[in-house]
Structure formats: C-alpha cells, structure tokens
Amino acid sequence: MNTTLSGLKVVELSTFIAVPACARFFADNGADVIKVEARGGDAVRWNGTSEGRSDSPYENTTFDLENANKRGIVLNLKSAEGREILFKLLDGADVFLTNWRPQALEKNGLTYDALHEKFPKMVYGTLTGYGDKGPDKDLPGYDFTAYWARGGVMDSLRQKDEWPINLIPGMGDHQAGLFLAAGVMAALFNAQRTGVGERVSVNLLHSSIWVQSIMLQAAQYTDMGQKYPISRRTADNPFNCAYKTRDGRFMQISMPPFDMFYPKFMPLIGRADLVGNPRYTMDNITKNKLHSEFIDILTEAFEQKTVAEWDEILTENDIPHSVAQSWEEVLADRQARAADVYYEMDYPTGNTRSLVRQPIFIGAELPEYKMAPLLGEHSEEILRQLGYGEEQLAALHDSGVYSTWDDLKAQHNG
C-alpha cells in the first residue's frame, strides 16, 4: 500500500469523471477520501449499458476506475441536518474537491470565500466545463462538448472533408482531473508552510486548449503552414503519418527530424535509390508541395509487407513506430502488463476484469485497488467517526438525512 499521503483528509462533492479521477489520485496514495453523493448517486454508477458492459453494482468497472480506494456517504444536502454533516466533514479536511458550477456553489454556501472563512487552511479544488468567470461559466460542460468540440480537438483531428472521429469518453476528463491534482498538491505544500489554503481552479476548455497549444499557437501564422483539418496526403511531415500494410493494418511512424532519418529509413522500405536525391529533402518537399507525391512512395512500399513484418524491420533498425492496436490488443500488450498498467479485480459476480491504474506511481509500492464504495456503503461508519451516537443515527436515518446501501440496493439491482 502506498502511504505517501497518509493522514490527509479529502472531501469530494462531485459527479462524473474529472473530479472523481482527481480525488482517486489522493486515495491511491493513502489519503482518506470521502465521496459525498445524493440519494440517486453519481450518474456514472449507471452507465454500464451505454458503455457496452455489465450494469451490476457489484461489477462496475467505470465507477471503480474513478472511485477506487474511497469511502462513500449518501447525504440529503437539501436538509439543514445534511448540510451540517457536510460542514462537520469539512472541519479538519485538508482538501475539498467539487465540480459543481458557480451558481450551484453560491446557492448552497459552498463558494471558496464562504468555506475559506470557516476553514482557512483547507485547499479548495474546483473543476468545471468553462471556468469561473465569463459569459459561459454556468453552462453544463462535458468533455465531449467543452474539451473535444469547443476546444478544437474534434474538428482539427478529422481528415479534411470527412466526418469527425468517434469520441472516447473520459479522455479530456482524465487529463483535466490530473491537472487539478497537480495544482492541489502545490497548494497543499503552500498550506503546510503558511497555514493558508488556496483555491485551485481547472476547466475542460482550457485543458483542451493547453494540450493542443503547439499547433493552436502556430495557427496564428495564417500565411504559413496548412489550415486544419488537413488531408493525410498533405501532411507537413510524411514521416509522421500512418500507412496501411499488406494485411490491412495500420503502422504509425514518427520521425520528426525528417532529413536525419531519411538516409537510414529509405533503404528499409526498398528505396535506397532515393537516398541522396535532393528532390526529397524536407525543405524541397515543402517549397514545391511534394507531400502527396512522397506519401504515395511510402504508401506503395508499406503495402508490400504485413504489419508484423514491418514491426520486426523497424524495431531492429530503431525506427520510432507502433502498430495501431485495437483495445483488445492494448489489454494484452506485454509492455503495458510489465509496467503494471493493469490490476486484476476479482468481482463478487465471480468475474475477473482488468482495470487500469492511474499513470502516476510514487515510491516502490504499487497503490492498492479496492473497489469503489457501493452507494452509501460507509454512511454510518463515517457518521460515527464524526461523533454521532446510535440514537442520533436512527433519528437522522428515519428523517432521510442519510442513506445506506441497504436502503438503496433493491432499486439498483443489488
């Protein structure tokens, strides 16, 4: 078990992917992370069918991915008693994490200013679709919309004159979530030195713009380069393209310093005759718009061998490349397995599934991977730790202030 952050208390009031992924970083590294949910639960709990997987609460791979190693409590925050419990949780917490929009935080007295006054040392982390100010700050933001579409990823990655690519859930959320974790860690370091907690803010739109910033900044030079989306046949560097092999697979090569790799690479594809040909320097290709012509040469060459043959040739000659793998192949990838990317979870259903670890390892010990809490699983345990006695628990439970998994499992296939 990794105990790097042991003793740290984190309260998470969020749903979906980005902030839960951030909170899981702390849970993986030994912090006590308490996830607060409404009676209906985080909507990600019920996504199984739409993702083509089991919808059993006892085999919930997506929810485990974002919420492993946490404890969970169900509170009715519309009640005065529920809000009181939340504030008791925050009393002594080192970090508060939320993805509630600014208007909702204001309405519920959960803004940074309000909480900082009560808990001055607590670090406050927030992640939204569009940020904390500006005309669209209160718009709902998912990664498909704020990150992929509005941020520009979706339109720039498609082939020219073609439909956009199929989007993959969580890609933007996971990046933004770990951006938030980095900011919160910096703020925690400062809080330990000064006794003052700061507000850390991340949003999906800015995260999208940041990860594309090399090309986005270059787009200002409108008299140079190409306007995206582009066709692969006009790619600026033909050595950074994917090519189809004889067996219908795709091989991605990546040789950014074109002229440096050229004399080594061309003999490997059977075109030693072109080595030394001044027509195919990067400068001449660019000046005379020979991209399509040169790509045709590479296309024809790659079609002569299978992907396995090319993999062997390129590996032996230290050429940066990779087969374009399917998800099934990635699950079996020998390097990913050797690098501890996966954890084998034995579920109560009797099934064993490969779950993906977060990509940050601290120290020699791998993080534990406990199943995410069932809805309300730790409600009474957490309340007892806050000092509530059995009579108080009974009264709060009877009035609907908190719920347990026993209350809720019948309606959720439990």
The angle formed by the CA atoms of residues 198, 200 and 201, to the nearest 5 degrees, is 145
One-letter amino acid of 250: F
> 173 an active-site residue?
yes
Confidence at residue 224, expressed as pLDDT on a 0 to 100 scale: 85
Query: 288-346: per-residue pLDDT in tens?
Result: 999 999 999 999 999 999 999 999 999 999 999 999 999 999 999 999 999 999 999 99
pLDDT at 228: 92
The Cβ of residue 310 has, within 10 Å, a number of other Cβ atoms equal to 25
DSSP-H helix ranges across 195-212: 204-211
- pLDDT tens for residues 143-174? 999 999 999 999 999 999 999 999 999 999 99
Among 143, 173, 259, 273, the active-site one is 173
pLDDT at 225: 82
pLDDT tens, position by position, 3-50: 999 999 999 999 999 999 999 999 999 999 999 999 999 999 999 999
Secondary structure of the chain in HEC code, one letter for each residue: CCCCCCCCEEEEECCCCHHHHHHHHHHHCCCEEEEEECCCCCHHHHCCHHHCCCCCCCCCHHHHHHHCCCEEEEECCCCHHHHHHHHHHHCCCCEEEECCCHHHHHHCCCCHHHHHHHCCCCEEEEEECCCCCCCCCCCCCCHHHHHHHCCCHHHHHCCCCCCCCCCCCCHHHHHHHHHHHHHHHHHHHHHHHHCCCCEEEEEHHHHHHHHCHHHHHHCCCCCCCCCCCCCHHHCCCHHHCEEECCCCCEEEECCCCHHHHHHHHHHHCCCHHHCCCHHHCHHHHHHCCCHHHHHHHHHHHHCCCCHHHHHHHHHHCCCCEEECCCHHHHHHCHHHHHCCCEEEEECCCCCEEEEECCCCCCCCCCCCCCCCCCCCCCHHHHHHHCCCCHHHHHHHHHCCCEECHHHHHHHHCC
Cross-strand bridge partners of residue 124:
96, 199
Position 2 scores a pLDDT of 85
- The reported pLDDT for the residue numbered 391 is 98
For residue 226, what pLDDT is reported?
A: 86
Q: Which two tokens stand for residue 283?
A: 């400068």
42-67: b (≥16 Cβ within 10 Å) or e? bebbbbbeeeeebeebebbbbbbbbb
pLDDT one-digit tens code per residue, 214-248: 999 999 999 888 899 999 999 899 999 999 999 99
Structural domains of the chain in order of their starting residue, each with its CATH number: 9-211+340-412 (3.40.50.10540), 250-323 (no CATH)
Q: How far is CA 81 from CA 49, 118, 172, 272, in A?
A: 35, 18, 36, 78
Q: What is the mean pLDDT of residues 37-65?
A: 95
pLDDT score, position 158: 94
- The 10s digit of each residue's pLDDT in 68-120 is 999 999 999 999 999 999 999 999 999 999 999 999 999 999 999 999 999 99
pLDDT for residue 171 = 96
